[in-house]
A and B are shown apart, each in its own frame.
Chain A
Amino acid sequence: MGQTIIEKIIARNIGAASVKPGDIVTVNVDRVMLDDIMMPFIVNKFQEMGFKEVWDPDKVVLIYDHLVPASQQDDTRHYRIGDEFAARHGLTHVHRSDGICHQLMTEAGYVKPGDVVFGTDSHTTTYGCVGAFSTGIGYTEMAAILGTGQLWVKVPETIRVVIDGTLPEGVMSKDIILRLIGDLGADGATYRALEFGGQTVEQMSIASRMTMANMAIEAGAKCAAFIPDEKTAQYCGIQLSGFQAGLRGDADASYVKTLTYRAEDFLPVMACPSQVDKIRNVSELAGTVIDQVFIGSCTNGRLEDLQAAAAVLKGKQVAPFVKLIVTPASRKVYLEALECGALQTLMDAGAIITHPGCGLCCGRTGGILCDGERVVATNNRNFLGRMGTSKVEIYLASPVTAAACAVAGKIVDGVQV
């Protein structure tokens, strides 16, 4: 019987010839990501469990991103608790202002194809972009991993998504994943893995794959998986081992279902307030007046996203009543966007560029909205109250669509601007 990508990763991790969906196994963790918001609770539980030492400090990455820079007095308490824990346990992978956790985990090379990774954030599914098995957990389970290096998991069933062909102009991988979430529903992949394949996916950059893996959780998925290829190897700065190169679903692997798409059929879409699976074509929403546009986050704050937005905004001006807020996903992305001129173009068009971090996406800082306002945003959630008060309307879209809306001051199809 063949195996899916996730089954192969888990089987190798536990030293078994194969595993099947539903098996409950204990995995050895290759890497964990701890974020600033959860840090006090993780430390508290770690102590409550009576652990004295971290199982392997080299496998632990601590990232301050939700609260950087501080916007409220309590924020700095979280840094202090994190710093104390890092010093006491000899953690060396600590990022205090380098960017958003999921961007850094892949960009800084902490995650490799075939790894088993957990993080205290639901968008930990992102690392499926390089063919890792990664998912989000709570602070109690994270504390248990820090003490033992292990966690029990149920081997998930896998849904296969195959996309062939070439995407139309102005359509990005964000439009694919939004459409897929709409088709599956917000719980359509709950407890399951989403495995992506097909020519369109093969042609995609790692950044575009990252956007899709990031949002797999919005369909409820436990994890996402892309086949590691030459682009992956280059991105991770490695040569693929035999095991890593073999991380593809076997022809006779068992999938719970397979969804097949033609790339040419995708259109620019949006997730409408306040459900991630309420997907509409942008053309159906055209004319809706907006107050703000946000381009950034672990979903769409990478260089190619900023460049795509800059291409739309070049030589144009953001509508006078619209605030365009751009947040590069990391310091590295920020510098690259500076060097290639994308930031200059965005600034010339009237954008506000902020420091890398999670601020606006998680509703903490840097452009919070209030009652009656409407925002087009490239992040991953449009839940009630997510980016301000509970009477803010959030429309999720691709960077191309978002940039076009910023110019028009209303919802508009990116290709038409």
Chain B
Amino acid sequence: MGKIFKFHNDLDTDQIIASQYLLLPTIEEMKVHTFESLDPEFPQKAVPGDFVVGGENFGCGSSREQAPAVLKALGIQAVVAKSFARIFYRNAINIGLPVIVCKDLPDAVESGDEMELSLTDGVAKAGGKEFVCTKLPEYMQQILSQGGLIASLNKEVQ
């Protein structure tokens, strides 16, 4: 169970983490600036297990992998959106942040709502309703369950 932070369509990676913070040496130092232009309190309000919900084309714009990385560092359980921009989607899977496509959920929920998500079943529950999401392919579920591409490659090598 986690609470929802909802954002608009075409949310670009500059809003998730602005370019002036990309020079900070670590993701830990960067994460306190997450969503600064839209909701400066976000890093304080979000607790591990919470969800980010977006509309269409979530994570468009720059290829900065720091965008999914700060969300993961804040403990965001998953990003659920109607659709994702290509580079954000790949980056998120590679670092072990679940990204779930769900066409109906974003319009049916509001910020602050409680939500539950089962990655394996591809089902989200919020506001007493169930939403069927696009299930991740097994290959990607495996990367995610092992904590990202590096962890998963290391495991393969072993």
Genuine A/B complex: yes
> Chain A: residues with CB nearer than 8 A to chain B?
37-38, 40-41, 45, 48-50, 67, 72, 74-75, 77-78, 120-122, 124, 135-141, 144, 186-187, 190-191, 220, 222, 275, 277, 362-364, 381, 383-386, 390
Q: Is B111 an interface residue (CB 8 A)?
A: no
The B102-158 residues at the A interface (CB cut-off 8 A) are 148-150, 153-154
Which residues of B approach A to under 8 Å, CB–CB? 10, 12, 14-15, 18-20, 22-25, 37-38, 56-57, 60-66, 83, 85-87, 90-91, 94-95, 148-150, 153-154
**A120 CB contacts on chain B under 8 angstroms:** 63
Q: Find the B residue at minimum CB distance from A42.
A: B65
| Complex CA distance for A36 and B35, rounded to whole angstroms | 24
Give A275 to B57 CA distance when docked, in angstroms. Answer: 12
Partner of B63, one of A137, A275, A385: A137
Task: List, in ascending order, chain B residues with CB within 8 A of A364's CB.
Answer: 19-20
Determine the residue in chain A with the shortest Cβ distance to B12: A383
Q: How far is the CB of B49 from chain A (nearest CB, A)?
A: 24
**CB atoms of A140 and B18 under 8 A apart:** no
When A122-B87, A186-B10 are in contact, do A363 and B19 touch as well, CB less than 8 Å? yes
Q: How far is the CA of A137 from the CA of B66 in the complex (A)?
A: 12
User: For the complex, what is the distance from the CA of A339 to the CA of B10, rounded to whole Å?
Assistant: 43
Task: Give Cα A277–Cα B12 distance, bound, in whole angstroms.
Answer: 13
Contacts A191-B86, A220-B60 supplied; 13 other A-B pairs, CB < 8 Å? A37-B22, A38-B64, A49-B150, A67-B23, A72-B23, A120-B63, A122-B61, A122-B62, A122-B87, A138-B91, A140-B148, A186-B57, A364-B19
Tell me the smallest distance from the CB of A244 to a CB of chain B, in Å.
26
Please give, as numbers and ranges, the residues of chain A lying within 8 Å of B22 by CB-CB distance.
37
Q: How far is B38's CA from A77's CA once the two chains are assembled, in angstroms?
A: 30
Q: Please, could you name 14 A-B residue pairs with CB atoms under 8 Å apart, sorted by A?
A: A74-B24, A120-B63, A136-B87, A137-B63, A138-B65, A140-B149, A141-B94, A144-B149, A187-B57, A220-B60, A381-B14, A383-B14, A383-B61, A385-B18
A381 to B15, CA, bound (A): 13
> How many Å lie between the Cα of A191 and that of B90 in the bound state?
11
Least CB distance from B28 to A in Å reads 13
A67 CB contacts on chain B under 8 angstroms: 23
Q: Which residues of A contact B10 (CB under 8 A)?
A: 186-187, 275, 277
Task: Give the contacting residue for A138; candidates B19, B61, B85, B94; CB below 8 A.
Answer: B94
CA distance A40 to B38 in the complex (A): 28
Q: Are B85's CB and A78's CB within 8 A? A: no
Min CB distance, A49 to chain B, in Å?
6
Q: Please determine whether A384 and B14 come into contact, CB atoms closer than 8 angstroms.
A: yes
Give A120 to B50 CA distance when docked, in angstroms: 29
- Answer whether A187 and B14 are a contact pair too, CB < 8 Å, given A78-B23, A137-B63, A384-B37: no
Cross-chain contact A136 with B57 (CB below 8 angstroms): no
Minimum C-beta distance from B123 to chain A (A):
25
A75 surroundings in chain B (CB, below 8 A): 23
Contacts of B60 in A (CB 8 A): 186-187, 220
| B94 touching A140, Cβ below 8 Å | yes
- How far does the alpha carbon of A135 sit from the alpha carbon of B91 in the complex, in Å? 13
In the complex, A390→B56 CA distance in Å? 22
Q: How far is the CA of A50 from the CA of B90 in the complex (A)?
A: 21
Judging by beta carbons under 8 Å apart, are B61 and A77 in contact?
no
Q: Which residues of B contact A136 (CB under 8 A)?
A: 63, 87
A167 to B35, CA, bound (A): 41
A277 vs chain B, min Cβ distance (A): 8
Q: Quick check: B19 and A77 within 8 Å, CB to CB?
A: no
Shortest CB distance A215–B (Å): 12
B63 touches A187 (CB 8 A): no
User: How far apart sit A250 and B64, CA to CA, in the bound complex (Å)?
Assistant: 35
* Complex Cα gap A167–B155 (Å): 56
Residues of B within 8 A of A45 (CB): 150
CB A21 to nearest CB in B, in angstroms, measures 14
A66 to chain B, nearest CB (A): 8
Q: Which residues of A contact B19 (CB under 8 A)?
A: 37, 362-364, 386
A139 partner residues in chain B, CB cutoff 8 A: 65
From B149, which residue of chain A is reached at the shortest CB distance?
Answer: A140
- The answer to whether B63 touches A138 (Cβ under 8 A) is yes
A-B complex: 4 closest residue pairs judged by Cβ atoms: A138-B65, A187-B57, A138-B91, A136-B63
Q: Are A74 and B23 neighbours in the complex by a CB distance under 8 Å?
A: yes
